[in-house]
Amino acid sequence: MAVLEEIGAPVASLQLAQGSNRDWWHPGRSARLQLGPKNVIVEFGACTRAC
């Protein structure tokens, strides 16, 4: 978060969303950091066996 703040990203507007990641992410062990629904900064977590 400090790096994002340092480069001027609006960190107060960041959202942590779970359950809406792509198919290869484990549904209960992954999330994404986003600015609104369309501006995804990063997806992270555990992969499913398809990884």
Predicted confidence at residue 37, as pLDDT, reads: 85
Predicted confidence at residue 45, as pLDDT, reads: 87
Q: Order of strands across the sheet with 25-35?
A: 15-17, 25-35, 39-47
Predicted confidence at residue 4, as pLDDT, reads: 86
| pTM, to two decimals | 0.68
Predicted confidence at residue 25, as pLDDT, reads: 83
Mapped onto helix, strand or coil, the DSSP state of residue 19 is coil
CA distance 23 to 25: 6
Hey, where are the domains in the chain?
2-47
Predicted confidence at residue 28, as pLDDT, reads: 83
Query: pLDDT tens across 1-51, in order?
Result: 899 899 998 999 999 988 777 777 878 888 999 998 889 988 898 887 766
Residue 10 backbone dihedrals phi, psi, to 5 degrees: -75, 80
